[in-house]
Amino acid sequence: MIRYLLSQLASAVLVMIGVSCLVFFLIHLVPGDPVEVMLGESANPADREALRQSLGLDQPLLTQLFSFFNQLLHFDFGHSLYSKQPIVDMLVERIPATVELALAGLFIAVVIAFPLGTIAALKQGTRWDYGAMGFSLIGVSIPNFWMGPILILLFSIGLGWFPVSGREGWSSLVLPAITLGTAMAAILSRMIRATLLEVLGEDYIRTARAKGLPEGLVIIRHGLRNALLPVVTLIGLQLGTLLGGAVITEMVFSWPGLGQLTIESIHRRDYPVLQACVLFISMAYVLINTLTDIVYGWLDPRIRLGQETAQ
């Protein structure tokens, strides 16, 4: 297990280095001059050149890249071009809101998906099955930027049950979490149905039933437990997607998270903040996928042993 863990961590480090380089070069390819944003178009050339030198933008690209990695090692993302605040402080202020929304969306997805997927598998070919899969089709088809306003019109403006926007207590979290979690619930329920149907046809399920075990125990202990491996992988992938996909939902509900900060930095051409936001979301996605691989290897020793044998 230690060898498997070290190999996964080494792979994650290599991917993070690649992602950091990609983010750096993509941000530098974005049209626009940050010096012009800071000083305005009316600034004289001498002031522009002095600011360019102070920011290190007059250095060769590779020199800027090495400086960028040196700053990353010291957790120094620089300062915002717009507000002059340290970017680390801005991230620390916004990250908890994004994590809270992503976890709430994941909770909604799991609560909806597991009962739907299980019922659809156990009632295959019945109205229950068609209804559950119909819901999943609708959930996948409806985008967040359409679902969010519909929920606001119905439950906030129409019924007055929840706030329209902002982050003030648990009630303001409900609608964004439902918006974010519904699409994931649709995908997850289909995966649970497919894997559970496959598992229920195995010999050990028939053996468990032949021994006289209660049907509920057979489904939960022998069926769902063995069907969880691909589901865990999907949950890990979707959690990383939730962190990135929360951008649209945060804008719709004015949720003060990392997604809203990303959009604001694009509008303001605040490139250092944009770079830090994209980098954090990318790193979070890599870390979550690495943890998913580790959990997968822990749950299924065949994966771990197979990789160790290949090495």
Does position 311 have pLDDT exceeding 70, yes or no?
no
Taking only the tens place, the pLDDT of each residue in 250-309 is: 888 888 888 888 888 877 777 778 878 878 887 777 777 777 777 766 666 655 555 555
Q: Which of 247, 283, 303 has its CA nearest to residue 15?
A: 283
Instruction: Tell me the C-alpha distance between 286 and 281, whole Å.
Output: 9
Residue 177, pLDDT score = 86
- The residue whose two tokens read 């949950």 is 235
pLDDT > 70: percent of the chain: 77
pTM, whole model, 2 decimals? 0.73
What is the CA 161 to chain-centroid distance, rounded?
A: 28
Domains of the chain, earliest start first: 96-286 (1.10.3720.10)
Residue 241: count other Cβ atoms within 10 Å of its Cβ: 17
Taking only the tens place, the pLDDT of each residue in 114-153 is: 888 888 877 777 888 788 778 777 777 777 778 888 888 8
* Contact criterion met (CB below 8 Å) for 128 and 216: no
Taking only the tens place, the pLDDT of each residue in 95-105 is: 888 888 888 88
pLDDT > 90: percent of the chain: 0
Does position 78 have pLDDT exceeding 60, yes or no?
yes
| Helix (H) and strand (E) counts in the chain | 14, 0
Instruction: Tell me the C-alpha distance between 304 and 3, whole Å.
Output: 9
Sign of CA dihedral 284, 285, 287, 288: positive
Q: What radius of gyration, in Å, describes the C-alpha atoms of the chain?
A: 24
Instruction: Tell me the C-alpha distance between 114 and 225, whole Å.
Output: 12
Question: 267: Cβ–Cβ under 8 A, 6 or more apart, which residues?
Answer: none
DSSP state, residue 86: B
Residue 55, pLDDT score = 67
Instruction: Tell me the C-alpha distance between 112 and 187, whole Å.
Output: 11
Residue 244, pLDDT score = 63
The first and second tokens of residue 204, run together, are 């050990």
Residue 172, pLDDT score = 82
What is the rounded end-to-end Cα distance, in angstroms, of the chain? 13
Three-state secondary-structure class, residue 43: coil
pLDDT band at 310 (very low <50, low <70, confident <90, very high): very low
Q: Which stretch, 48-62, 75-89, 226-240, has highest mean pLDDT?
A: 75-89
Residue 306, pLDDT score = 53
The first and second tokens of residue 294, run together, are 């580790």
What average pLDDT does the chain have?
A: 76
**In Å, how far are 27, 235, 270, 296 from 277, measured between CA atoms?**
11, 23, 11, 28
Which of 38-47, 78-87, 184-193, 250-259 has the least mean pLDDT? 38-47
Instruction: Tell me the C-alpha distance between 8 and 290, whole Å.
Output: 6
Instruction: Tell me the C-alpha distance between 211 and 206, whole Å.
Output: 9
Output 254 or 225, whichever has higher pLDDT.
254
Instruction: Tell me the C-alpha distance between 157 and 107, whole Å.
Output: 25
Q: Which stretch, 95-99, 164-168, 242-246, 303-307, has highest mean pLDDT?
A: 95-99
